[in-house]
Chain A
Amino acid sequence: MLQLKNISKTFNAGTVNEKKALRNLNLDLKDGDFATIVGSNGAGKSTMFNAITGAFYVDCGEIILDDEDITYKKEHIRSRDIGHLFQDPLRGTAPGMTIEENMALAYLRAKTARHDYFSRIRKEDKEKFREQLALLNMGLEDRMKQPVGLLSGGQRQALTLLMATMVTPKILLLDEHTAALDPATAEKVLELTKSIIKERNITALMVTHNMHQAIELGNRILMMDQGHIILDIEGEEKAKLTVEELLEKFKENAGKALDNDRILTAE
């Protein structure tokens, strides 16, 4: 489904601020894979996501999504097939537009042909939006005419998730998307994430700093350090993994302990 072949990216090359963010990174994600990603600060987790979405072009290597080479495709063209959620819950929605308008935009951009500029949503679509919102159990279905700016961070993140998956993306990138939410809301958004991914068999990558989450979720776990993937465990072996083993394995492969100042190892 997604192949990253030997991609590298250096920021500010040739200056004192030179940062080799990605170094010969390789990843082969199969259809339906749900991989969690852990790693130290500055390991390149978000940079890898940004390379996939096209926020910048990689210095070398290839990015293949669903057998299509997207290495040099523009960001707004790639994002048709890619759902991307950020840690900041305010990034994914337009605060000045109503819930309905936000959903309409997500729906129309994904459902109608690229040059069908004047498509509008119909009554049935609004009904569908209402049903989807009702599933969130946040009472948003009765607030569809309200601007999104009035919602809480958790509500906005849940809405963003709904919008990103309104039409099933080829791949869903979750960049610590529950980290900035309060525990109860984070749990809710996580449950929603799990059920959507499972129901529709979406291929997904999820960065987390919660070790238990990393072990518990998905069928595959990736560890990153210094711009590449140092550990890739899947299937049976992953299912049996414990937090202690995970940290031990990291030490073995990276030659140092996992240093992430936000890492959560306790339940």
Chain B
Amino acid sequence: MSSIFTLSIVQSALELGLIYSLVALALFISFSILNIADLSTDGCFTLGCAVGAMVTLAGHPVLALFAAMFAGVCSGYITAFLQTKLGIESILAGIIVNTGLYTINIAVMAGSSTVNLFNFDTLFSLAKDKIGGSFSKIIVALVIVILIAIFLAWFLGTRLGLSIRATGNNPDMVKASSINPGFMITVGLCVANALTGLSGALLAQYQKSCDINLGTGMVTIALASLIIGESLIGKGSVLRRIFGVVLGSCLYRFIVAIALRLNVPAEALKLVSAIIVAVAIALPYIKKQVAFEKQKSAAMKKRREGK
């Protein structure tokens, strides 16, 4: 095992796991809580990355995070606007925004498809100067994730948060209880996409670059993390579920790290995550089918023996 897990591999898996956990948390809001498959996640992640990179390039690595979150809010607002005000199916709304964002993202990166941040101050390089040591990156990511987790746990317990949860859980109830479902979907998607944008900006600073294709498949990867987390932790209090999502994201990165270590080509990883998601979502259904088949064959056997 020691040959598979070197310290640096564990470390980078944790760092990436924490950074990407913010997208998984975004899907926790849109997919698990609001029951909406937000397919604009890929484009929004790249948007956060691009905005974050450009503001970092301008010399404001901290402001970059807020700018990326704001960009995410705007993207989420448009997705929500399309579905709540214009009656566009939620999946379609996400796809439409995702497509549009490609052009926006190129425009943000000043017409180029990549941006490099080498030799520019990033949050991680600043932390390294301040804290020093090889753990500074983890500390930065961890602090941000903890802050977000605390905020989310608090937020989901407020009237607004409870209303958002009820909107995804029982639309009938919501209509009869003075909650405006359209508004709740809008707020939920804005918060979710702010997290996606933040994640993108952090990744841009982490790997000191941004690429137009960075977000491709992000929704599947985040979903894989989310499902791994939920199946490990199960249902429970909101804070517990949030912790599960972060854990799931880190675990996913470990799986990827091991796969890379075992010489699985990097381009195969998207297929692997697609399979993880498909299997994880299908698992409960398959279990039920298997249980039924068992019951059926047992009953048939009994009948035959009876004759």
Chain A residues near B (Cβ < 8 Å): 53, 55, 74-80, 84, 86, 90-97, 101-102, 104-106, 108-110, 112, 116-120, 145, 147, 163
Query: Cβ of B296 < 8 Å from any Cβ of A?
Result: no
Closest chain A residue to B182, Cβ basis: A76
- A94-B173 contact, Cβ under 8 Å, with A105-B166, A109-B178: yes
Closest chain B residue to A93, Cβ basis: B173
> Interface SS of chain A: helix, strand, loop or mixed?
loop
Query: Cβ of B175 < 8 Å from any Cβ of A?
Result: yes
Chain B residues near A (Cβ < 8 Å): 157-160, 162-163, 165-166, 169-170, 172-181, 235, 237
For the complex of A and B, list the 6 residue pairs with the smallest distance between their C-beta atoms, beginning with the closest: A108-B159, A94-B169, A117-B160, A79-B178, A80-B178, A105-B162
Q: Hey, which chain A residues are within 8 Å of B157, CB to CB?
A: 104, 120
User: Among B158, B160, B174, which residue has the most Cβ atoms of chain A within 10 A?
Assistant: B158
Is B158 within 8 A of A106, CB to CB? no
- The residue from B159, B160, B170, B176 contacting A95, defined by CB atoms under 8 A apart: B170
Closest chain B residue to A145, Cβ basis: B237
Q: Hey, which chain B residues are within 8 Å of A92, CB to CB?
A: 172-173, 176
Is B178 within 8 A of A91, CB to CB? no
- A119-B169 contact, Cβ under 8 Å, with A79-B178, A109-B178, A109-B179: no
Closest chain B residue to A75, Cβ basis: B175
Q: Hey, which chain A residues are within 8 Å of B180, CB to CB?
A: 74, 76
Is B165 within 8 A of A76, CB to CB? no
Is B173 within 8 A of A117, CB to CB? no
Q: Hey, which chain B residues are within 8 Å of A94, CB to CB?
A: 165-166, 169-170, 173
Is A84 within 8 A of B176, CB to CB? yes
Given A74-B180, A79-B175, A79-B177: 20 more A-B contacts, CB < 8 Å: A53-B176, A55-B175, A76-B174, A76-B175, A80-B178, A92-B172, A92-B173, A94-B173, A95-B169, A96-B165, A96-B169, A96-B235, A105-B163, A105-B177, A109-B177, A110-B178, A118-B158, A119-B158, A120-B157, A120-B158
Q: Hey, which chain A residues are within 8 Å of B173, CB to CB?
A: 91-94
- The residue from A53, A76, A93, A119 contacting B179, defined by CB atoms under 8 A apart: A76
User: Among B162, B165, B174, B181, which residue has the most Cβ atoms of chain A within 10 A?
Assistant: B162
A206 shortest CB reach to chain B, Å: 16
B17 shortest CB reach to chain A, Å: 26
Q: Hey, which chain A residues are within 8 Å of B175, CB to CB?
A: 55, 75-76, 79
Is B159 within 8 A of A116, CB to CB? yes
- Give how many A-B residue pairs fall within 8 Å (CB-CB): 80
Closest chain A residue to B157, Cβ basis: A120
- The residue from A86, A96, A117 contacting B158, defined by CB atoms under 8 A apart: A117
B230 shortest CB reach to chain A, Å: 12
Assembly CA distance A53 to B173 (angstroms): 13
Is B166 within 8 A of A97, CB to CB? yes
Assembly CA distance A93 to B237 (angstroms): 18
Closest chain A residue to B33, Cβ basis: A96
Q: Hey, which chain B residues are within 8 Å of A96, CB to CB?
A: 165, 169, 235
Assembly CA distance A185 to B177 (angstroms): 24
- A118-B176 contact, Cβ under 8 Å, with A94-B165, A95-B169: no
Q: Hey, which chain B residues are within 8 Å of A118, CB to CB?
A: 158-160
Assembly CA distance A147 to B170 (angstroms): 13
- A108-B178 contact, Cβ under 8 Å, with A91-B170, A93-B173, A94-B169: no
Assembly CA distance A75 to B235 (angstroms): 32
20 intermolecular pairs with C-beta atoms under 8 Å apart? A55-B175, A76-B180, A78-B178, A80-B178, A86-B176, A93-B170, A96-B165, A96-B169, A97-B165, A97-B169, A104-B162, A105-B177, A106-B177, A108-B162, A109-B159, A109-B179, A118-B158, A120-B157, A120-B159, A145-B237
Q: Hey, which chain A residues are within 8 Å of B163, CB to CB?
A: 105, 109
Assembly CA distance A77 to B177 (angstroms): 9
Q: Hey, which chain A residues are within 8 Å of B162, CB to CB?
A: 97, 101, 104-105, 108
Assembly CA distance A118 to B151 (angstroms): 12
Closest chain B residue to A77, Cβ basis: B178
Q: Hey, which chain B residues are within 8 Å of A93, CB to CB?
A: 170, 173
B173 shortest CB reach to chain A, Å: 6
A172 shortest CB reach to chain B, Å: 12
Closest chain B residue to A98, Cβ basis: B237
Assembly CA distance A247 to B275 (angstroms): 65
A104 shortest CB reach to chain B, Å: 6
Q: Hey, which chain B residues are within 8 Å of A75, CB to CB?
A: 175
Assembly CA distance A2 to B237 (angstroms): 42
A155 shortest CB reach to chain B, Å: 15
A224 shortest CB reach to chain B, Å: 22
User: Among B159, B165, B174, B181, which residue has the most Cβ atoms of chain A within 10 A?
Assistant: B159
Assembly CA distance A106 to B166 (angstroms): 11
B29 shortest CB reach to chain A, Å: 14
A41 shortest CB reach to chain B, Å: 22
